């Protein structure tokens, strides 16, 4: 009976974790014609391998709705796939293209967004994003 009580208690303690989500930042680096989108932890510049369901780039002037996507890739069965940085316009292995890539322009605000799972015992979904502009030959973060 003691083991059953412990198992129920552990299960109840895990419930709040399952309803949480984690925010992760996305960043864009590289050149205008070959940018890379990476997942990073908030406050860090180091790119992570991340389990990703989908990743997209949006025209900052048109918003983040489906109509604003200028490139979007996702796993075909909504499962999360472990990937590193993704080069804009190149489909990662195991992904499909929802929106083909559109040409990027300097001095234009873009938003990068993504979703996936953190992994591990208490895996929770992560959502992430960031706004960027290519100016003076580098990608710069743009505040919301």
**pLDDT tens digits along 43-61:** 777 888 899 999 999 997 6
Q: Is 140's pLDDT higher than 90?
A: yes
Enter the tokens of residue 23: 């925010």
Tracing tokens 């908030």 back to the chain, one arrives at 42
Helix (H) or strand (E) holding 9: helix 2-18
Q: In the predicted model, what is the mean pLDDT of the chain?
A: 83
Q: Is 18's pLDDT higher than 60?
A: no
Which residues fall within 8 angstroms of residue 41, CB to CB, at 6 or more apart? 24, 25, 48
- CB contact at 8 A, 59 and 108: yes
- CB contact at 8 A, 115 and 52: yes
> Can you give the pLDDT at residue 123?
83
> Can you give the pLDDT at residue 78?
83
Radius of gyration of the chain (CA): 18
Q: How far apart are CA 44 and CA 122, in angstroms?
A: 22
Interval 88-139: pLDDT, tens: 999 999 999 999 999 999 999 999 999 999 876 778 999 999 999 999 999 9
Under the banding of pLDDT at 50, 70 and 90, the label for residue 9 is: very low
- CB contact at 8 A, 98 and 69: yes
Neighbours of 109 (CB within 10 A): 13
- CB contact at 8 A, 114 and 56: yes
> Can you give the pLDDT at residue 69?
92
- CB contact at 8 A, 110 and 76: no
- What's the whole-model pTM score? 0.79
> Can you give the pLDDT at residue 144?
79
> Can you give the pLDDT at residue 64?
58
The stretch 73-89 carries a mean pLDDT of: 93
């Amino acid at each position: 009976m003691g083991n059953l009580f412990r198992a129920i208690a552990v299960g109840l303690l895990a419930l709040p974790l399952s309803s949480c989500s984690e925010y992760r930042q996305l960043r864009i680096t590289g050149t205008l014609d070959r940018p890379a989108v990476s997942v990073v932890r908030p406050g860090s510049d180091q790119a992570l391998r991340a389990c990703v369901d989908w990743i997209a780039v949006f025209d900052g002037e048109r918003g983040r709705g489906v109509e604003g996507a200028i490139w979007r890739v996702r796993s075909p069965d909504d499962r999360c796939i472990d990937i590193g940085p993704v080069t804009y316009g190149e489909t990662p292995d195991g992904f499909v293209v929802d929106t083909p890539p559109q040409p990027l322009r300097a001095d234009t605000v873009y938003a990068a967004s993504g979703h996936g799972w953190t992994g591990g015992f208490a895996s929770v979904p992560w959502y992430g994003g960031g706004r960027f502009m290519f100016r003076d030959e580098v990608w710069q973060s743009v505040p919301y």
